[in-house]
Amino acid sequence: MTLDDFLLREIELGSFPAAAYAIGTVDGGIERERAFGEAVAVPLRIPAHVDTIFDCASITKPLITGTLVLQAVAEQRIALDDEYRGFTFRELLTHTSGLKSWLPLYALGDYLQAIEERGREHPRGAVVTYSDLNFVLLYFALQELFGDYIEAARTRIFAPLGLHDATFHPAPSLLPRIAATEWGQRFEYGMCATRSIAFTGFRQGLMWGEANDGNSFHHGGTCGNAGLFTTAREVFRIAQGFASGELVPRELVVEATRAYKEDRGLGWQLAGPGLSERSFGHMGFTGTSVWVDEGRVYVLLTNRVHPCAAPIAMHRIRGTFHELARQPQRSA
């Protein structure tokens, strides 16, 4: 089975309405890119193209937030073991702060106060708990360091790499190019219900061109944990720029992509599905992923939560995607 056949089959099975990928090398750039399916399936149908813009969700963490933190380290504005709000930057980047995996901060008032009062769960450094709260704190730290997180992303990442579609606030004119996500904030409604947290402001309509993640949406588009919108091509370019040392010094690339505790580097996860133990990358709730392995870059963007966030085997899908993507491309 070819890679394209596999993705078309998963679309037919209902795993996701649309998929776009970009594959290539850190040194040479994109070798192949394709898109399939429907960027919007309901209430109207819009086909996906290679220039379709996806809600990147949690791959925002290493691509933007983690990169900005490492730039601050490179410029000696901070050190990894400096503390912010009671946690070191290293603990926040490696998810070893002891904070809970998630809280609906938008339902609890002030984000920083809510994390301080309700976020702690384990002793610092004791365990790895993947947590959005770590990157929310990093967002506020970057606001203090650079003045404005989004502007820092534009001037320090998007502009140097020549990106044109990467944004945190897609303009309404871009809607025909954007892949939709959930119809109504049902997934987070359920998460709040299981935690007995009341909130009356859940979105009811189609999430299209706005961050699916509630903490990012209710904070104006991003809170460091999610919110990036862009194409598979530009996700590739950011990962390439990081891995090649364009965005941060090479010694920090090496530092960020080694294991500190379990499978966690500095903002990055290690040993991706279907890849080597030396690989580094990240995945996002909306069905996105980016991985770098032995000089190759693999980007897969989907809108698997459209129109609802039903459970599907994304780990299996990503593993098969990587395995097929590593095979030589068949000639026509």
In sequence order, what are the beta bridge partners of 87? 84
Residue 238 lies in a domain: yes
How far does Cα 31 stand from its chain's mean position?
22
Model pLDDT, residue 329: 72
Can you give the pLDDT at residue 37? 98
What's the pLDDT band for 221 if we cut at 50, 70, 90? very high
Q: 308 in a domain, yes or no?
A: yes
Tokens of 171: 């303009």
State the DSSP string of 37-88. EEEE-SSS-EE--TT-BEE-GGGHIIIIIIHHHHHHHHTTS--TT-EETTEE
* List of residues 6+ apart from 123 with CB closer than 8 A: 98
> How many Cβ atoms are within 10 Å of 317's Cβ, its own excluded?
23
Average pLDDT over residues 141-157: 98
* CATH number for the domain harbouring residue 100: 3.40.710.10
The predicted model gives 93-106 an average pLDDT of 98
User: Is 218 part of any domain?
Assistant: yes
Residue in this structure with the two tokens 């809970």, named with its chain if needed: 100
Kindly report the average pLDDT of the chain as a whole number. 97
The distance from CA 89 to its chain's CA centroid, rounded to whole angstroms, is: 19
Please tell me the predicted confidence (pLDDT) of residue 330.
Answer: 65
pLDDT band at 331 (very low <50, low <70, confident <90, very high): low
Residue-number span of the structural domain to which 246 is assigned: 3-325
pLDDT at 299 over 60: yes
Number of domains in the chain: 1
pLDDT digits (tens, 9 = 90+) for 28-57: 999 999 999 999 999 999 999 999 999 999
| Res. 93: pLDDT tops 70 | yes
- pLDDT tens for residues 48-83? 999 999 999 999 999 999 999 999 999 999 999 999
Residue 332: inside a domain = no
Q: Is 331 contained in some domain?
A: no
What integer is the mean pLDDT of 265-274?
A: 98
Question: What phi and psi values does residue 80 have, to the nearest 5 degrees?
Answer: -60, -30
Q: How crowded is residue 164: how many other Cβ atoms within 10 Å of its Cβ?
A: 10
| Residue 330: inside a domain | no
